[in-house]
Amino acid sequence: MRRSASKKSSQPTSVNSITSSATDLFRSASSKASSKEMERIDNLFYQYANRSSNMIDPEGVEELCSDLEVSHTDIRILMLAWKMKAEKQGYFTLEEWRRGLKALRADTLSKMKKALPELEKEVRRPSNFADFYAYAFRYCLTEEKQKSIDIETICQLLDIVLGSTFRAQVDYFVEYLKIQNDYKVINMDQWMGFYRFCNEISFPDMTNYNPELAWPLILDNFVEWMREKQA
């Protein structure tokens, strides 16, 4: 289904006859432009898409990444996926592609490249980042009904998503995750808990951390482990 690029809301049939021709003209002009844009977007899609599945698969994504001159573990690809509201990790459907690129106002590779810094700024806004952070977790859930992610993937994900903003916390927490035995997987609540931890708790002193509050148990244990290390 084609989406109209026009900012006007689609009016019902009763339109003033005086303006109807103008809007018709406008609409047809903008729809011509938008259809051109859509064509370019689609073309770009098919450059990377797998012929048989009609989706961009991991191989295509890698190609895209190298063309964008971005590593495929770079957070910006994840941000792109977020913008696209992509559902399956490593794959982009046509609809998702269209959604993302439309939003970025990019229909060529160079425009996409240029849009990335802006995208990053947008995602890093506090109002968006929490949503992005949660999205990152969900994106890694590959099986249906899967609710948790294994430790190793979590460690990588933490590094990608929070590595630049909370380097110290991520490094220590990743170290802890690797040596502890209580948990083999991390669920969404624990994932979000860590983000809250980074934002609210001063590090590395953690003096304002209170284990009697509703912090996830894994963070209580992490703080205990940190304190022992520091002693």
Partner 1 sequence: MERKTIDLEQGWDYMQTGIAKLKRILEGLPEPAFDSEQYMMLYTTIYNMCTQKPPHDYSQQLYDKYREAFEEYINSLVLPALREKHDEYMLRELVKRWSNHKVMVRWLSRFFHYLDRYFIARRSLPPLNEVGLTCFRDLVYNELHSNVRDAVIALIDKEREGEQIDRTLLKNVLDIYVEIGMGHMDRYEEDFESYMLQDTASYYSRKAISWIQEDSCPDYMLKSEECLKKERERVSHYLHSSSEPKLVEKVQQELLVVFATQLLEKEHSGCRALLRDDKVDDLSRMYRLYHKIPRGLEPVANIFKQHVTAEGNALVQHAEDAATNQAVSTAGVQEQVLIRKVIELHDKYMVYVTECFQNHTLFHKALKEAFEIFCNKTVAGSSSAELLATFCDNILKKGGSEKLSDEAIEDTLEKVVKLLAYISDKDLFAEFYRKKLARRLLFDRSANDDHERSILTKLKQQCGGQFTSKMEGMVTDLTLARENQNNFEEYLANNPAANPGIDLTVTVLTTGFWPSYKSFDINLPSEMVKCVEVFKGFYETKTKHRKLTWIFSLGTCHINGKFDQKSIELVVSTYQAAVLLLFNSSDRLSYTEIMSQLNLSHEDLVRLLHSLSCAKYKILTKEPSTKTVSQTDVFEFNTKFTDRMRRIKIPLPPVDERKKVVEDVDKDRRYAIDAAIVRIMKSRKVLGHQQLVSECVEQLSRMFKPDIKAIKKRMEDLITRDYLERDKENPNTFRYLA
In the complex, the residues that contact partner 1 under the rule CB under 8 A are 147-148, 187, 189-190, 193, 196, 212-214, 216-217, 220
CB of 187 to partner 1, least distance (A): 5
Q: Can you tell me the distance from the alpha carbon of 182 to that of 186, in angstroms, rounded to the nearest whole number?
A: 11
DSSP code at position 2 = P
CB atoms closer than 10 angstroms to residue 112: 21
CB of 67 to partner 1, least distance (A): 39
Nearer to partner 1, 114 or 196 (CB): 196
Nearer to partner 1, 91 or 222 (CB): 222
Nearer to partner 1, 121 or 147 (CB): 147
Amino acid at 153: T
Radius of gyration of the chain (CA): 23
Token pair, residue 126, equals 């506090």
Nearer to partner 1, 51 or 145 (CB): 145
**Spatial CA neighbour of 135 closest among 161, 153, 159, 116:** 161
CB of 182 to partner 1, least distance (A): 9
CB of 153 to partner 1, least distance (A): 17
Find out whether 108 and 40 touch, Cβ atoms under 8 Å: yes
